[in-house]
Amino acid sequence: MAARRASRELAGVSTASKDAALETTARLLEERTAEILEANAADLADERAAGLTQALRDRLTLTEGRVAAMAEGVRVVAALEDPIDEELERKSLEGGLDLRKVRVPLGVVAVVYEARPNVTIDCAALTIKSGNAIVLRGSSYAERSNGALAAVVREALTEAGLPEDAVLMVSGGGREELADLATQDGVVDLLIPRGGEGLKNALKDVATVPVIYAAAGNCHVYVHADADLEMARQIAYNAKVQRPGVCNAAETLLVDAEVAADFLPDVLSDLHGAGVELVGDERVRELAGGVEVGIAEDADWGTEYLDLKMVVGVVDSLDEAVDHINDHGTSHSEAIITSSGEASARFSAGVDAAVVYTNASTRFTDGFEFGMGAEIGNSTQKLHARGPIGLRELTTYKYVVQGDGQIRG
């Protein structure tokens, strides 16, 4: 109930007070960098992190640069327009009633997340600015890092005269503890899980509070017959290699049959040279130009690797590419490389995804890149929020009606 009480207090504070807490958070992050990195080093050395893949260890790892980026993200959020009390609609009703539709906080937001400690700061900054309290449940193997970061925010809240319980960290536990959080009706107004399909399925079985799933990203890059092949080569490489352990990295490369012979040998060589394990269909293997490409199993087309692995396929048309993506994707981020405006429009209209790109890497699906300062996650759903979850996605609205004695006859 501490978070509920804090949310009610925070909902009515001024923009200046919220911004002061965020500015203090950014300053303390910079001042406490050494302590934060020490806590992170202890997490990385702990036996609980020993079995993590290299991609997950990368997500867990903090550096001076990553802490500095967190501080910068907090300052960007502070500089954004406060969404609370934004007037969405206003009109006079028959009889003289004045009706206003205004934006208000959700209340208490709970976030369950894996590995990435920066999520602690991103989520806290967005909920403070949007007038919400937050309950954070991170991974057990990031416990020290998350604790150090949450302590910074709680200290900043106190310094700004705001309730420190607007940010609460609960320790990561098993499925029983997760079920307890997901059934806090009347306390938790929204639960956002950030993780793979296993986490999503575990919550689907038990959650009684509203949930927005910031779920898996099985993202595709499709090289159309009218693509600039050098551009396509660079985008495919970036989408897979730049940071493979994140949800907006591409897991599948689809190439139109018309350009496959010209395109595949070079791009496969690039990817192989970067250490990417490649699997593909029969046509890809025939056109690989000496690059080792394993046999793609049925499961590969629906797998979010979060690692240096990619499945590659040849398709005979744009329609086949769209059908393949809709059958195997997770509605996260999808890209087409083409010089055809018609093909771009057909792809954008046909693909069922939160974000659709033409001639750009899927790696841009990110709250910071979208000008939101940060994000709580990327929603792959269609109701309330879709794509990066920023300030406005953490609000609802109410109708405020002013009268002067009207009664209904």
For residues 17 and 155, membership in a common domain is answered with yes
Minimal CA–CA distance to 193: which of 379, 62, 369, 394? 379
Do residues 397 and 103 touch, judged by C-beta distance below 8 A?
A: yes
In a domain, 370, yes or no: no
Q: What is the CATH number of the domain that holds 235?
A: 3.40.309.10
Per-residue pLDDT of the chain (409 residues; tens, 9 = 90+): 799 999 999 999 999 999 999 999 999 999 999 999 999 999 999 988 888 888 788 889 999 999 999 999 999 999 999 999 999 999 999 889 999 999 999 999 999 988 789 999 999 999 999 999 999 999 889 999 999 999 999 999 999 999 999 999 997 666 667 888 889 999 999 999 887 777 778 888 889 999 998 768 999 999 999 999 999 999 999 999 999 988 999 999 999 999 999 999 999 999 999 999 999 999 999 999 899 999 999 999 999 998 999 999 999 999 999 999 999 999 999 999 999 999 999 999 999 999 999 999 999 999 889 988 888 888 988 878 899 999 999 999 999 999 999 988 8
**Domain of residue 347, residue span:** 219-364
Q: What is the CATH number of the domain that holds 198?
A: 3.40.605.10
Angle subtended by helix axes 33-45 and 15-31, to nearest 10: 70
Task: Specify the pTM.
Answer: 0.85
How many domains does the structure of the chain reveal?
2
Cα–chain center distance at 213: 10
In a domain, 97, yes or no: yes
For residues 296 and 388, membership in a common domain is answered with no
In a domain, 407, yes or no: no
Q: 401: exposed, middle or buried (C-beta count within 10 Å: 0-12, 13-18, 19+)?
A: exposed
For residues 141 and 210, membership in a common domain is answered with yes
For residues 171 and 54, membership in a common domain is answered with yes
For residues 258 and 121, membership in a common domain is answered with no
For residues 182 and 81, membership in a common domain is answered with yes
Q: Alpha-carbon distance 60 to 37, whole Å?
A: 11
For residues 146 and 238, membership in a common domain is answered with no
